[in-house]
Amino acid sequence: WPNLTYSQVGFLPQPVVNYDGAGLPATLLSGNYASLGVLQSTKIGGTIESPVLATSKFIPVPYTGGGALDTYFAAQPGPKADIYAGNGRFSEYAVQIDGPIWAAQTTRVDGRLGVRWYEIDAATDSLLQFGDVTDPALDLYFPSIAVNHFGQVVIGISGSSETDFAGAYAAVGETLGGVTSFGAP
């Protein structure tokens, strides 16, 4: 579809990688409006030979503050400019496994950059759960998310601070009774 508008698919939508192998509908997910309290989900239905773009749905999520096109910068040591840490879009693809969609994005949490993760019901486009991964000393940014069939979740993250150069971190989570909890990065 050439020339899609923001109202049709959101700003910089990311494809959801479907590990369930169920075929269409496929989902495009845009996270840029999370700062305003919504994610935007667009389904691609029909057939492979004749795909159909459905009307987007807005998924209410907790407001993260700022504006739809906020740009984030992470601290780093020395008198250099801070590190560009993206904006509200999902920096990596979202994944669908065993039904739900899992996604992660950079946001501001308590005055520092952190990661907000979401579990979304793919069938109803409703938020099942969300949470933040933070560190008291580090800005965390550019997350990627991996989930398995056992409810284990890993978020890979870049992190830095005024005293720590950029490095790679991971936060490991586990889902028990429908609630996912993460350890420290």
Burial class of residue 178 in the structure, from the number of CB atoms within 10 Å of its CB (0-12 exposed, 13-18 middle, 19+ buried): exposed
Specify the pLDDT at position 92.
Answer: 77
Q: Write the CA distances from 12 to 5, 31, 69, 101, 127, integer angstroms.
A: 10, 8, 11, 17, 20
Does residue 157 register a pLDDT over 90? Answer: yes
The mean pLDDT value for 100-125 works out to 93
Does residue 2 register a pLDDT over 90? Answer: no
Specify the pLDDT at position 67.
Answer: 61
What does the pLDDT look like over 69-85, one tens digit per residue?
A: 678 999 999 998 999 99
Specify the pLDDT at position 68.
Answer: 58
